[in-house]
Amino acid sequence: MAHKMGRQYIGIEQMDYVETLAVERLKKVIDGEQGGISKEINWQGGGEFVYCELGEWNAQAKAAILACDNWVELDRLFTELCDKYFLKYNVNVQKFANEICQEPEFLALTLDEQKQMMLEMLDLNQLYINVSDMNDSQFECGLNQEDKDLTLEFYGMK
């Protein structure tokens, strides 16, 4: 509706189907699709949009955790999580690695339960790369220069 009424807008979607639903829907609107308020405002189509994705950071860690097929893989991943990603400030990494992971109760958990414990350690405020952090060397593999330039332009910082 905002597009058809000539308004500026930002559409946000977190689900994986964004490219198959939201983007395709916007393409149809631009092509003159006649649903919604089209008849009331005599919509003929037109306009444009820019589709961008957020630079993932802890979201990559989440995907890696979920992709593990067994405890051995999950255990190996834990070191990378500690070295590369943002964990919650109150996570005692040493205690988890040296004590909790060795306890029979932990080892008796299902793989999904073990994964859930790992996921609980991730700082959810760091799922994506913040604009203020994007030039940190830690994120060199996360964004290319074109992504950085577009981000700066979007925020009016370039």
Max CA-CA distance within the chain? 68
At residue 135, φ and ψ (nearest 5 deg) are: -95, 0
Residue 133: pLDDT band by 50, 70, 90 thresholds? confident
> pLDDT digit string (tens) for 6-57?
888 888 887 777 778 888 888 999 999 998 898 889 999 999 988 877 777 8
pTM of the model: 0.65
Residues 147, 152, 154, CA angle at the centre, nearest 5°?
A: 95
